[in-house]
Structure formats: C-alpha cells, structure tokens
Amino acid sequence: MAKDIKRVSAQQRKDYMRVYGNRKKSSLHDTYAEKADKPFLEVKDLEVIYTSNKQIVKAVNGVSFQLKRGESLALVGETGAGKTTICRSILRILADPPAKMTGGDIWMDGVNLTDLSEEEMLEVRGAKIAMIFQDPMTALNPSMQVGKQIIEGLMLHNDYTPAQAEERAKEMFEMVGIAPNRMVEYPFEFSGGMKQRVVIAMALACNPVVLLADEPTTALDVTIQAQVMDLIRELRNKLNTAMVLVTHDLGVVAQNCDNVAIVYSGQIIEYGSKESIFLHPTHPYTIGLFGALPNMNDNSERLTPIAGTMPDPTRLPDGCAFAPRCPHATDACRTGVIPEKEIAPGHKIRCIMRDKEA
Amino acid sequence: MFKFVVNRLLYTVLVLIAVGFVIFTLLYLSPDNPAQFKLGNTASASDIEYLNHLWGLDRPYLVQLWDFMYHAFIRFDFGDSWQYSAPIWPELFSRIPRTLLINLLALLMNAPIGIFLGIFAGLHGGKWQDSVVMIICMILVSVPGFWLALMCISLFCVKLGWLPVFGIETWKGYVLPIITGALGGIAMNARQVRSAILEVFREDYITTARAKGVPEHTVTYSHMLPNALMPIITSFSGAIAHLIGGSAITENIFSIPGVGSYMLTASQTRDYPVVRATAVFMCAFTTLVMLVTDLVYGFIDPRIKAAYASGKRK
Amino acid sequence: MNEIKTKSIISEPQEKQQRTSLFLDLCKRTVKGPGAKIGVAILAIMVFCIVFANFVAPYGENEMDLTATFATPNAHHLLGCDALGRDLLSRLLYGGRYSLLIGVLVTIVDTTLGVLLGAIAGYFGGMTELIIMRVMEVWQAIPQQLLAILIATIFGGGFWQTVVALSVGGIPMKCRQTRAQFLKESGREYVEAAEAINCTKLSIMMRHIFPNACSPIIITIAMGIGGAVTGAAGLAYIGLGVQPPTPEWGALLNAGRQYIRLYPHLLLWPGVFIAFLVLSFNLIGDGLRDALDPKLRD
C-alpha cells in the first residue's frame, strides 16, 4: 500500500510543478508573504445547480468574495442557503450528479482552480485548501485507524518517509490535544469532540493556506464548541491560514472572523467587515437575523423571528429572493435582478430599498 | 483474543450437541413404524417386535437419547444402518468428499464472482452496466436453483450431449452441480455488495477522503470497498446454509452419491440412524463454516476486534 | 447534506396540501421504479388467472384427453399435455392455487411466530431474551431446507405438512430480525415517553414500537412468499411435499422428471411459472426496500 501511495504522489508532484512552475516548495511561504495584501482566494460569480427529480435547483447563484492571507470570512445564513455548496465547489468535491458548477471562477494565488485538471486539483485539495466537516461522527472512515487517516494525506502531499509522516501526525495530535498513542485507535473509540479534533488535525496537517470550516461546532456540545473554536483560532494564528467559516452562530462570527457574508437563497445579500455588519446591519434580512438573537441588555420578553420560510429553490421569485418575507418590499423588488451596491467602503448589499435610504 | 476464539469454539460444540438433541427428538416424534417399513405390510407382529427390540426402540425416550448422544458425540459412532444392517461410518465417509467438493467449490466460485459483479454494478450505479448486471441477478435470484439445474441437464446433457446426464465418473459430472449451485449465490452476493457500495458512496468520510486530495481510485479501493465489503463476509454463512440445505435436492437431480442423497434415500425408507448421521454432519459443516466466517469477520472489523480485545483486558 | 435539507423544504408544503394515508403513500412510493411496476403487473395477472382458473383455464384440472398424451405445445394445448393427456396450462393455473396458498400461509405462520418471539426477546430483554435467542441459534444451525426435509420425512408429504415444514425453518430469521429492530427502537425517546405515561407493555410493543420497527419485516414478507413457493416446489420435486396428482407446481415437476429426455416441456413450464411468481415478489420487495429504507430515500 505504502508503495502505491508513493508512486501516486510522485506523479502528483510532477503535476504540481506544472501548475506552480519552478518555484521551490520551501519558498512558497515567502511568495505568499509578498502577496499578503493582495486577495489570495477569490471566488467570482459562482453558480451551482442541483438536479433533483428532473427539476433544476439553483443552489448558488452568482456568489463572489475575496480572502487575503490569514484573513477569515464568515458565511452566515439559514440551513439550505447554499453555504456548504459554496465550500464544496471551491474544493470541487460537489456530489456530481446531482450538483454541478455551471459558472464562475475560483482564483487561488493566480491559478484558476476551475481550469485545473482533476489530477492537478488533487494537489490542491488537502495541501493548499483543506476542509473541516460539519459532523465529526460520520466524517472519519470507521475502518481505518485515525492516525493512518492523517498519514494518508501527509504522504500524498509531502516528501515524507512513512516514519516522518508518522512523526508529523504525532505532532498534529499533540497540537490538537490528543495523546499520540491514540493514533492506532479507530474512530468509534473517540467521543464527538475528540473526533472533531482529529478532523481538524487532518485538515491542518499539511499547513493549508485556506481552511474551509463547514459548521465545525454545530454537532458538538456548547462547552466543546468553545474549545474547538479556540483550537482552530490558535492553529490558524500559528500557520497564518485563511479561513472560510460556515456557521449559523453570530457569536462565533464575532470572535473569529474579519469579514462577514450573509447568504440567502444562494446569493450573498450583504457583505462587509465584521464591524460594519454588526454595527450597521443594513439588509432587512440581516437586521432580521440580529433581531432573532437574544440580547442580555434588553428586557424585551420575545425575540423577533423572521416571518415565513426560505423560498422554494425550484421556484425562486423574480427580483429579490427575500421580498416575500420582507417588511419593506415594494413592487420594484419583485422584478429584474437586484444589483449589488457598495453603501460604505467594503460594505455591499443587494437591496434596492435600503440602498435608496442610505 | 485467544480466549475469545476458544469460547467461540466451545459454544459451537454446545450448539452442535443441542442440534443433535433436536434432530433425535424430531425423529423420535415420528408416528411411522420403521420396522414396518423394512418388513413390509405382511410382517408379523412378533417380527416387528423383534426388530424394535434389536434397534432398541422399546426402551424409554431418555435412554435412547442418551445412547444416541453418547455414541454420536463422544465416540463419534452413528451405529448401523437399519436398512442394510451395516455400519454407517464407512458409507458416510466415502460420500463426504463429494458433497464437500461440490459445496466448497460452489462457495469459492460465488464469492469472488459475486463480489466482483457487485462492485462493478455499484461503481457504475445508475448507468446501463449497473442495470444489466442487476437484471441478470434479479432473474437468477428468482429462478429456482433446482429447476435451473434440470434445464441445464436438458440442454447441455440431453440436447447437446456435452456433459454426462448423471453420475460423477469423470470430472465433467461435477461441472453442472457446481455451476448451478453457485449461480444463485453469485446473484445474491452481487446484489448485496452493490447496495452496500451504494450506501457507502454517500458517506461523509468519502467526501473527507476526497477533500484530503486522495485520488479517486484510492478512494474506491482503500475507503469505499473495505467498509462496503466487511458486512458481506457474514453473508457467507447464509450461502453455505443454503447450499448444504439444498444439497439433498442437487444430489438427487444429478444422481451424485453424496451425503444429501444418502439422507434422502434413508428418509424414504425411514432409516433413522442414517438420517440422524447425515443431518448432524450437514449441520456440523454449516456451523463450522459459520464459525470461521464469524472469526474472520471479528479479525478484520476493528469494532468487533476491539470488543474482543477489551473483553480480554477485563 | 445541503441537498437533503433543501429537499425537505420543498416537500413540506406538499405534505400539508395532500395528506394521504401512510399506506397509500407507501404504495405510491413502492411502484415508483420500473422494476416494481413490472412486478405488480406480473403478480396481478398471475393472481387473477390463478384465482379465476375456473374461467380462465381452457380445460378442467383433471380433464384427460388420451389422444393428446405428451402433446407438445400447439394451438389446442398452448403448453402441451402430460402423460395422461391433461392440458398443462390448465393444470398450472389450478396448481397455482396450491403453490400461492402455500407461499402465503408459510409466510403468515413464520412471520407471526417469528415476530412475536423477536418482539418479546427485544423488548423484555434479560433472561427471556437469552433463552429465546439461544434456542434460535440452535434452530438456525439446521439449514432451512434440511429442516424442511426432516419434518416432511417425519410427518409425510401433503399440503399442510409442507406448510408446517417450511414455516418452522423461517422462524429464526424473522425472530432475529425483529429483535434487532426492537432493540434499536426500544432505546428511543418515544418509547420512554410512552412508558412515562403508563402505557401497558403490550400496547407499547404493538402500538408504539412495532409500526416503527416493521419496515425490514415488510420487505422480508414480500421476498419470503416467493422463497416459500420455491421451497415447496423443491420439497414436492423430491417427493416429500405435495403429492401428485395434485397439480402443485413442484408436484408437476416431480411428475415430469422421468420424461426429461423426451418431453422437456413438462419440466420447462412449471419452472417458468414459479420463476415469474418469485420474480414478481422479489421486484415488489425491491420496490418496498427503496420506499422504506430511509438511508436510500432522497
């Protein structure tokens, strides 16, 4: 088996050289440092559709965002808004069928990921961009020792000998706070929080430059949630990793993110720095989200939920997708395409009503 | 781990003893009179009484039971055939290799072919290759095995004359029994493997592996197949039970002097010692194969392996 | 993950609009695929012809035509005639009554007993479970067909003997399956809730757990009928099941076996009928599995 993996990785290294030219691996980080102020990951007009029962569902509908080295972006929205789909399309691991990326570009460090061949993409997955999954209970292969699952990725992306890979895996285990002697155990011998630590160790083992964290804490207890987020933050600081964090939890956003994108029906309807979004939420949906958050300083008895549910993605309304639930909606909202407007530096919304007020 | 294997072995022996008890009791309950069967309707009452005494049938149930259990399980002696008044062992012994050969070869055939077809269909899930394999398997699962054997005889032996109609004088006599025996199992295995693979396909850890940058063929061979195939091992015990249970019919159709046909003839003449001996042998064989599959499963599934290990620790 | 959630949002309003009964919904979902549709069609045609054999069959069950002995299939006798000049098609249709009835009866008996034992073992646990499961393990060590042959040997051939012989062997599997389901379900919160409001054990088992535990059992029932028909035919073929001249399909095979060299059509058609009946049940069983298995449900 080990032979097998080595042969494959040699092939992949060749592919890697083709993509990244003659730059040596060790100099990569310097290159990143030079470009620190430029957008490192850039998603442009991403479109993804799902085909189910012969119906076409637009899961992601023209999403664009940028990420600098070490920066973090939160994708906030309801279940089914398309956040996970965005992450998966960056890695190009959408389940195809039924999902399919129909438009848009994903640029990473000057390379358009959508142009790469499947083999070239293998060298990006896990090495440059890593992903943490929502449910640690099912994210690990139940018939493989957890250590081996980490080593597998390490061997694919590095020139390690098996012993070195094991050493590195041990390091990662220590880093996420698990005794390295548990590497030979199987996933069912771990608790949920421990499994998520393993998943995090696996994602960060190859020092990725971008981390996609898909609701990393949703399946965990509240106390464990805080530990896991602290862990991710600590490791990111050490490795200077950029992060896309998918979450429902605005509290987590406040602690961990620089920028926030509010996602609704497959579109980013409001985008800005954490401060501007938290202090000046502008889109009616964002305001609704904050209204649905308990406030300790306020004595009001009830939270104000957003009325209604998300529109049926097979029959998205014309115009603004939020219009049917929006208290400010007018006829103008129900026709045409709602353009994106910058209402303050770096703060963009898709809403014609608030746009006018501002 | 060693302790577990020993435990499991002891347990199997106990099950076999219980099986012996069940078989003996079932036959004891029979309303037929074996002596009458041997002597015919014209036999005198004293002759029948003499035979019953000779065979020990006039003794109480518990004494007969003990006699059978003691001889069968401690001295491995099944006594004499009532019909031929000759010891059973030599006859049984000469027949065992034929039955074993047919059933084990059928089992060995259906495992790799069935698994291969299942993997093939599963990995092509939803495409035409999948549909073709699955339609063939569906038909093979539905067609009665013994009827298929009859049709094969009619076609290959009678019409085309490629193979002998019955008997096992040459290796050709074994071809049809093994193939028709394996076909049903192949189809069953293929269907099971396919649905297991389709299930594993959707698992999150497959996405995790892809997100790590694992190439697609490694995802298939080191993440998908081990998880999909593990439960298949247990289906072998079902397959062997099916084969052994069906061997009476198979051997009858192909006129093979094996254990199954021995049992069938004996049951028609109410030769109970032979029925008991053959039935116990077939159950023992089935149970042993089940034991082996259980142990193999235990060794390769980490969850069960860990349960063994922790049991040992305690 | 996303895809599943999106879909649940789609289906919610539809469920509110048309509240169909669970049973109708199950039927609808079962026949969604082409396989199950074919299965239902085959089964419907066969059951209709078998039940109304008096009207459908061209000749009587035992009507002999000595001028047509061993007739091969022709315009008068679509599937030919047997040694006594009896029309094979008619005998197959009448005989289907025995085969189908055996299949259904065997399944009813072994499912009832197996589910009952399994439910008791799974719900009560402890000593009860231990005893039942040990007995089942011994029981299962005797291959089903072997057990059927043994029982048929002891009690002789015949319709009811065949039913008993085949159902006895099916009990352990159903019992183990039910127990596994009950074990899984009895740990769920709704069972605790039912216990908390003082439901009787019987009512918890039958009204709360059973409906949630029965999906795999329903699938086994569908597949089991076909298996029992095959099993009965096998027993009859070796002379231990239903005896000729009863036109049960296996008995027809038994009657035709001596003519395999000269008149293979006597062996061909009974097998084809069995295969189609079993195929229809298997196809329906597959459809049920797709409809009931939440793992495969989109």
For B138-172, give one letter per residue: b (16+ CB within 10 A) or e: bebbbbbbbbbbbbbbbebbeeeeebbbeebeeee
A188, A216 Cβ separation under 8 angstroms: no
Q: How many CB pairs under 8 A join A and C?
A: 34
Contacts of B208 in chain A (CB under 8 A): 131, 133, 139-141, 199, 202
Residue C118 sits in a domain of what CATH number?
1.10.3720
Q: Which residue of B has its CA nearest to A118?
A: B215
- Supply the pLDDT for residue A298: 61
Q: Kindly state the tokens that stand for A9.
A: 């990785």
Q: Which residue of C has its CA nearest to B141?
A: C279
Q: Is C10 in Cβ contact with A59 (below 8 Å)?
A: no
Are A122 and B213 in contact (CB < 8 Å)?
yes
What's the CATH code of the domain at A119?
Answer: 3.40.50.300
Q: Residue C163 is part of which domain span?
A: 33-56+80-179+216-296
A42 is written with which tokens?
């850039």
CB contact under 8 A, C3 and A95: yes
Q: Output the CA torsion sign for C66, C71, C75, C78.
A: positive
The predicted pLDDT at position A358 comes to 47
Chain B residue at shortest CA distance from C284? B138
C7 touching A (Cβ < 8 Å): yes
Q: Does residue C157 fall inside a structural domain?
A: yes
Cis bond leading into A97, ω under 30°? yes
Name residue A49's beta-bridge partners.
Answer: A58, A100
According to DSSP H, which parts of chain A are helical? 2-20, 28-34, 83-91, 118-124, 136-139, 146-157, 162-175, 192-204, 222-239, 250-256, 274-279, 284-291, 352-357
Query: C238: part of which helix (H) or strand (E)?
Result: none
CA of B18: how far to CAs of B22, B207, B280, C132, in Å?
Answer: 6, 49, 10, 14
Cα-Cα end-to-end distance for chain C: 11
Largest interatomic CA distance in chain C: 76
- pTM for this prediction: 0.80
With 0-12 / 13-18 / 19 or more C-beta atoms within 10 angstroms meaning exposed / middle / buried, residue B187 is: buried
User: Which of chain B's residues have a Cβ under 8 Å away from the Cβ of A118?
Assistant: 216
| Bridge partner list, A247 | A76
Pairing of strands A129-132, A210-214: parallel
Task: Single out the residue of B85, B87, B57 nearest to residue B75, CA to CA.
Answer: B87
pLDDT digits (tens, 9 = 90+) for C244-254: 888 889 988 98
A119 at the B interface (CB within 8 A)? yes
User: Is the separation of the CB atoms in A207 and A170 below 8 Å?
Assistant: no
Residue type at C7 in one-letter notation: K
Number of domains present in the structure of chain A: 1
Neighbours of B66 (CB within 10 A): 12
What is the count of structural domains for chain C? 1
Residue ranges in B43-171 assigned as alpha helix (H): 45-54, 61-69, 88-123, 128-142, 145-152
Q: CA angle, B139 as apex, B255 and B137 as ends, to 5°?
A: 100
Contact between B141 and C282 using a beta-carbon 8 Å cutoff:
yes
Q: Would A219 be classed as within a structural domain?
A: yes
The DSSP bridge pattern shows strands A99-108 and A111-112 to be antiparallel
Residue ranges for chain C with pLDDT beneath 70: 1-20, 293-298
pLDDT of residue C298: 39
Q: Where are the alpha helices (DSSP H) in chain C?
A: 2-17, 22-30, 34-51, 53-56, 88-124, 126-141, 144-155, 159-186, 189-196, 201-203, 210-213, 215-237, 249-256, 265-292
Residue type, A211: L
Tell me, what's the pLDDT at B312?
40
d(CA B27, CA B40): 20
Distance (Å, whole) CA C47 – CA C56 = 11
| Both tokens assigned to B101 | 């050969």
Contacts of A95 in chain C (CB under 8 A): 3
Residue type, A4: D
B120 φ, ψ (degrees, to nearest 5): -55, -50
Each as own residue / partner, the long-range contacts of residues C193-202 (CB below 8 Å, 24 or more positions apart, any chain) are C201/C123, C201/C124
> SS3 of C248, please?
coil
| Residue B191 β-bridge partners | none
Residue C6 lies in a domain: no
- Is the CB of A172 inside 8 Å of chain B's CB atoms? no
CA distance B198 to C296: 9
- A337 in a domain, yes or no? no
Contact across the interface for C35 and B32, Cβ inside 8 Å: no
* Per-residue model confidence (pLDDT) at position A294: 63
Beta strand A242-247 pairing with A72-76: parallel
CA-nearest residue to B244 within chain C is C143
Distance CA A168, CA A151 (A): 8
Cβ–Cβ contact C75 with A under 8 A: no
| Residues B210-233 pLDDT 10s | 888 888 888 888 888 888 888 788
Angle at A89 between CA A88 and CA A94, to 5 degrees: 65
pLDDT at residue A356 in the model: 57
10 Å CB burial of residue A298 (0-12, 13-18, 19+) is exposed
**Rg (alpha carbons) of chain A, rounded to whole number:** 21
Query: Mind telling me how many Å the CA of B162 is from chain C's nearest CA?
Result: 15
Decide if C154 touches B, using CB distance below 8 A: yes
Phi, psi of B190 (to 5 degrees): -60, -45
Nearest CB to C142: which of B19, B146, B204?
A: B19
Query: Could you tell me which residues are beta bridge partners of residue A76?
Result: A247, A262
Note whether residue C277 is domain-resident: yes
Q: Are A340 and A258 in contact (CB under 8 A)?
A: no
Dist. CA C160–CA A73, nearest whole Å: 73
**Does the CB of B207 have a partner CB in chain A at under 8 Å?**
yes
Decide if B151 and C268 are in contact by the 8 Å CB cutoff.
yes
> Splitting chain A (358 residues) into consecutive groups of 10 residues, what average pLDDT does each group show?
41 48 42 58 86 77 85 85 86 78 83 83 85 86 88 86 89 84 87 86 85 82 80 82 86 86 86 85 82 64 69 76 78 78 82 64
A289 three-class SS: helix
Distance CA A119, CA B292 (A): 42
Range of the domain at A41: 10-128+208-279
Residues of chain C neighbouring A79 (CB-CB closer than 8 A): 5
Q: Three-state DSSP class for A60?
A: strand
Interface residues on A facing C, Cβ-Cβ cutoff 8 A: 50, 52, 57, 59, 79-80, 82-85, 95, 98-99, 134-135, 309-310, 312-314
Q: Which domains can be identified in chain B, with CATH numbers?
A: 92-310 (1.10.3720.10)
Question: How is residue B135 written in tokens?
Answer: 């339609």
Q: At what angle do helices C126-141 and C88-124 cross, to 10 degrees?
A: 150
One digit per residue, the tens of pLDDT, for chain B of length 314 reads: 677 788 888 989 999 999 999 999 988 888 877 877 777 777 788 888 888 888 888 888 888 888 888 888 887 888 888 888 888 888 888 999 989 988 889 988 888 899 899 989 988 877 888 889 999 999 999 999 899 998 988 888 888 888 877 667 777 888 888 988 889 889 988 988 888 888 888 788 888 888 888 888 888 888 888 888 887 887 777 888 888 888 888 888 888 888 999 999 888 888 888 999 999 999 998 898 888 888 888 777 777 766 666 544 32
Subunit contact B143:C253, Cβ cutoff 8 A: no
Q: Which residues pair with A50 in a beta bridge?
A: A57, A99
Structure tokens at B134: 């699955």
- B212 and chain A in contact, CB less than 8 A: yes
Q: Which DSSP state fits B153?
A: I
